[in-house]
Structure 1
Amino acid sequence: MKAMLTGFAAIIVIAAGANFALDQAGFASQEVHSGPSVRLD
């Protein structure tokens, strides 16, 4: 049970860290999949 909870915690930390890192690196889907003629609000 302890290993499973540690795994779940690791998944949450990795997912949050990856989301933050990719957002800061400019890999957000809005920036990747839109051109200059697309208006994003």
Structure 2
Amino acid sequence: MQDPQYRVEVARQQTTYNQPSYPSFYLASDTDWSTVPVPGRR
């Protein structure tokens, strides 16, 4: 729930027409998790 677009889509899904929410970033099996920044960490 750190991603603003995803958070808004989840809220919209709960209050209006039910469609899947999508994050604003690419999330797939080929993602290199060692380069993904962690929110709140420096």
TM-score (normalizing by structure 1): 0.35
Q: Higher helix share goes to which structure?
A: 1
Larger Rg: 1
Higher RCO (CA 8 Å, separation ≥ 6 residues): 2
